[in-house]
Amino acid sequence: ENAILMPAEGPEAAVLQVRVTATPEDGKANGVVLKLLSKALGVPKTALTIVHGSKARVKTIEISR
């Protein structure tokens, strides 16, 4: 499962752009995104919740500590 995490540039600087090669079937891609963010942010995967866009390309992910 290949994935790339990169900060966006310009007016959306608070946005992270994630690209994954996992298929969007059965939530596989979402799982890879959450795993990548978990590692990058140093939080457990359970601290991340997709609050908007679970079936869309653009997602809003809540981080609880």
Task: Encode pLDDT of 25-55 as tens digits.
Answer: 999 999 999 999 999 889 999 999 999 999 9
Mean of pLDDT values over 8-26: 76
Report the alpha-carbon angle 44-47-52, nearest 5.
135
Range of the domain at 33: 3-63
pLDDT at residue number 1: 55
CB-CB neighbours of 61 under 10 Å: 18
pTM of the model: 0.77
> Is 59 in contact with 33 (CB distance < 8 Å)?
yes
**In total, how many domains does the chain have?**
1
Short-list 28, 27, 45, CA closest to 36: 45
What is the percent of the chain where pLDDT is above 90? 43
